[in-house]
Amino acid sequence: MQLFGDIEAKIDTKGRAFLPSVFRKALQASGEENLFLRKDLFQPCLILYPESEWIKQLDTVRSKLSRWNRQHQLLYRQFVSGVEALTLDGNGRILIPKRYLQMASIDQSLQFLGLGDYIEIWKPGEKEKPFLEADNFSEAIESIMGNTFGSLSAGNILNESGQER
């Protein structure tokens, strides 16, 4: 399942918003019916997980924590207590509880940002803050991904006889 897009939507007085059709179609094609909502741990946005991705997140967190460690139990309890199960209504809307809208300072409209396996929900205009400046982004991506292929890079690819191409 690939959830990509950057789409603004309105919220009605009850806190309902239409999930953009590009996301609904991807979820339906993958057989996903249930969604899970939580406040992001680091940014002032909400995270909307398809059920299969939420289960992966839980499994990852649980695998790193011991049920027999008091601090780990407190962390796990806090991690899962801030989650709300959501379903699409017959019109393709999700009901976002008011407390979540308040956590992300969202009032009349919101911005859906698809990030592959989950969707972030932002207050319009706020999502620009967590991005790197263009120069910083290119330097960071080069630093991280530039060494992906080990010693092979565009500058030192060898042909079959061992000579550089």
Contacts of 34 (CB under 8 A, 6+ apart): 50, 51, 85, 86, 87
pLDDT at 131 over 70: no
Indicate the SS3 state at residue 122: strand
Query: Of all residues in the chain, what percent carry a pLDDT higher than 70?
Result: 83
Model confidence at 153, pLDDT cuts 50, 70, 90, reads: very low
- Cα separation of 107 and 15, whole Å? 9
Query: For residues 165 and 156, is the Cβ–Cβ distance under 8 A?
Result: no
Model confidence at 158, pLDDT cuts 50, 70, 90, reads: very low
- Cα separation of 47 and 37, whole Å? 6
Contacts of 137 (CB under 8 A, 6+ apart): 131
pLDDT at 95 over 50: yes
Question: pLDDT tens across 23-56, in order?
Answer: 999 999 899 989 999 999 988 999 999 999 999 9
Model confidence at 145, pLDDT cuts 50, 70, 90, reads: confident
Query: For residues 23 and 3, is the Cβ–Cβ distance under 8 A?
Result: yes
pTM more than 0.85 = no
- Cα separation of 27 and 5, whole Å? 14
